[in-house]
Amino acid sequence: MSHNSLAINLCQEYQISQVQQDQRKLFVHWSDGHCSQFHYLWLRDNCYCPKCGDPRHGEKHFRIVDVPLDLKPLSVHWDSGKTIEIVWEPDGHQSIYDAQWLRQHCYSATERERRQHRPILWDSNISNNLPQIAYEEVKTRDAGKSQLLKHLRDYGICFVRNVPSNKGELESFAQSFGPLLETNYGRVFEIIVDPEESQKSVANSQINLIPHTDDAYQYAPPGIIFFHCLMANKNGGGQSTFVDGFQIAEVLRQEDKEAFELLCRYEVPFRKYYRDRIDMRFSSPVFSLDSGGNLQEVRISNLFPAPLDLPEEIIEPFYAAYRKLMQLYTDPRYCLQQGLQPGDLVMFDNHRIMHGRTAIGINNQRRHLRYCSVDRDYFQSAWRRGV
């Protein structure tokens, strides 16, 4: 567990029923029977009075080195379960804490566990119940936009239907979430099958692309990716594929813990080299976990590998783990395959969801997708703010 960037806010109202103290901590007993322990140092550090910072923006001016390690209250008062007021030794500084705020930030194991966001993991069966929404809903109703953000948070993916194809539509829609990212291909990139363009990106080629996360060779790969379908193939081929990287991780953790741990520990190097102008390299473990073992990020790409650079004795076990991983993420059981139609937009979290494409036939080159991306931070911010 850690302070999860998608931590759930608990909405219930709690009353304080008793407050006790010892040498280092305050014990707050709540009406539901839960007891929170708050260290004095933590409480003093989290005073948001105007002297300690700017309460409007959460900025802090207080410095923890300015109080003694054995800091103690001079007095503690609690008022009808709404606030706790502490006057501190030795300077007499006064801090007032809102009871609900305290409960929302209680760092007991049970409350931290309860706040943890749990992604909804999925496999190919998600095709029976796709996270999707009509563009009209998202554009005209806050509830529609909230639903979209919720799908992205929980499933890492959402399909938006009936998005107009006019120039600039995708751009302005994506910008309503945050600034568009500048990528190697520009801010808005046209994915059209074109032998000339295929030198620029494999996305423009006809080959089968096995699932991957984009731009794994970058320090910060794109966050939320948008694919807007403008033209589709008539005879199949060029279908989009998606795999839940978190699901793959959990299956591997269950089936082969040793392999999973190797992939969490050792780095895979990636490199993108392009017409003598770009030489980007980054190494990262396949799975990044927080301190509680929760998945934070998946980085998988067979498209831009660089030579493994690991201790000699790790090479063989690592390849064994890497092969298991690849067997899993190319297994149709975990793959959502969708033939996108003109007007379909798919948005997905590139730090969780892998995407790919089936091969495009030689006489079947009509597929046209428009691509752009926005950082994850803006989505999470919008989701927290409730719009």
Alpha-carbon gap, residue 235 to 241, rounded angstroms: 17
With CB under 5 A as the contact rule, which of the stretches 17-25, 52-60, 76-84, 97-105 interacts with Zn ion?
Answer: 52-60
Alpha-carbon gap, residue 104 to 43, rounded angstroms: 14
Alpha-carbon gap, residue 315 to 114, rounded angstroms: 39
Nearer to Zn ion, 95 or 350 (CB): 95
Q: Are the C-beta atoms of 258 and 325 separated by less than 8 Å?
A: no
Regarding 49 and contact with Zn ion (CB under 5 A), the answer is yes
Q: Determine the angle formed by the axes of helices 312-329 and 245-255, rounding to 10 degrees.
A: 120
Diameter of the chain by CA atoms? Answer: 82
With CB under 5 A as the contact rule, which of the stretches 47-55, 146-154, 185-193, 371-379 interacts with Zn ion?
Answer: 47-55
Q: Which of Zn ion, Fe ion, none does residue 215 bind (CB under 5 to 8 Å by kind)?
A: none
Q: Measured at CB, which residue is nearest to Fe ion?
A: 214
Alpha-carbon gap, residue 115 to 8, rounded angstroms: 5
Q: Which of Fe ion, Zn ion, none does residue 300 bind (CB under 5 to 8 Å by kind)?
A: none
For 7, 140, 221, the CA distances from 352, given in Å and listed in that order, are 17, 28, 11
Window 203-222: residues binding Fe ion (CB under 5 A)? 214
With CB under 5 A as the contact rule, which of the stretches 44-52, 212-220, 342-350, 362-370 interacts with Zn ion?
Answer: 44-52
Nearer to Zn ion, 46 or 201 (CB): 46
Nearer to Zn ion, 35 or 49 (CB): 49
Give the one residue of 28, 43, 52, 263 binding Zn ion; rule: CB under 5 A.
52
Q: Identify the sign of the CA torsion 174, 180, 183, 187.
A: positive
Nearer to Fe ion, 302 or 365 (CB): 302
CB of 48 to Zn ion, least distance (A): 7
CB of 47 to Zn ion, least distance (A): 3
Number of other CB atoms surrounding residue 126 within 10 Å: 18
Question: How does DSSP classify residue 369?
Answer: E
Regarding 220 and contact with Zn ion (CB under 5 A), the answer is no
Q: Which of Fe ion, Zn ion, none does residue 52 bind (CB under 5 to 8 Å by kind)?
A: Zn ion
Q: Which of Zn ion, Fe ion, none does residue 214 bind (CB under 5 to 8 Å by kind)?
A: Fe ion
Structure token digits, residue 144: 């529609």
CB of 56 to Zn ion, least distance (A): 15
Number of other CB atoms surrounding residue 184 within 10 Å: 15
Nearer to Zn ion, 41 or 264 (CB): 41
Contacts of 5 (CB under 8 A, 6+ apart): 380
Nearer to Fe ion, 214 or 349 (CB): 214
CB of 85 to Zn ion, least distance (A): 12
Tokens 């806010």 correspond to 9
Regarding 47 and contact with Zn ion (CB under 5 A), the answer is yes
Regarding 64 and contact with Zn ion (CB under 5 A), the answer is no
CB of 28 to Zn ion, least distance (A): 19
What share of residues in the chain are helix, strand, coil (percent, to 5)?
30, 30, 40
Nearer to Zn ion, 97 or 318 (CB): 97
Pairing mode of beta strands 287-289, 295-298? antiparallel
CA-based nearest residue to 110, from 17, 35, 39, 43: 35
CB of 263 to Fe ion, least distance (A): 20
Contacting positions for Zn ion (CB under 5 A): 47, 49, 51-52
Contacting positions for Fe ion (CB under 5 A): 214
